[in-house]
């Protein structure tokens, strides 16, 4: 077995263990307001960080790709208009693809 597969299996086992840990946490811990607030805010922070990395990152450096930024802007606009998630994805991908087809980025 190669090192890559070992890493995949170890990661899968870790994810399963983390999920199992979350399911076995006593209700009294989850009823704590600080824990509840933390659990509500962490996913938002992680998604914002992932969005920033994908929008502005290129390997080990920052990259300001106009097509990516336009796609992100189109997605934000679609979200502000309360579009369904699938529509937001299609609008963002369409905006980025149109700019790339025009040779902008």
Q: What is the pLDDT of residues 57-104, one digit of tens each?
A: 888 888 888 999 999 999 999 999 999 999 999 999 999 999 999 998
pLDDT of residue 30: 84
pLDDT of residue 60: 84
> Which positions ≥6 away from 30 have C-beta within 8 Å?
36, 39
pLDDT of residue 74: 96
- Counting Cα atoms < 13 Å in the Cβ hemisphere of 44 gives 5
Q: What is the pLDDT of residues 34-44, one digit of tens each?
A: 988 998 899 99
Query: What is the reported pTM?
Result: 0.64
> Is 90 exceeded by the pLDDT of residue 8?
yes
């Amino acid at each position: 077995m190669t090192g890559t597969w070992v890493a995949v299996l170890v990661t899968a086992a870790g994810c399963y263990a983390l999920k199992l840990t979350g399911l076995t946490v006593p209700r009294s811990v989850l009823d704590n307001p600080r824990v509840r607030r933390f659990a509500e805010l962490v996913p938002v922070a992680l998604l914002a960080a992932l969005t920033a990395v994908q929008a502005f990152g290129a390997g080990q450096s920052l990259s300001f790709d106009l097509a990516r930024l336009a796609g992100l802007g189109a997605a934000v606009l679609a979200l502000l208009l309360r579009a369904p998630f699938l529509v937001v994805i299609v609008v963002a991908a369409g905006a980025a693809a149109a700019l790339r087809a025009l040779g902008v980025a």
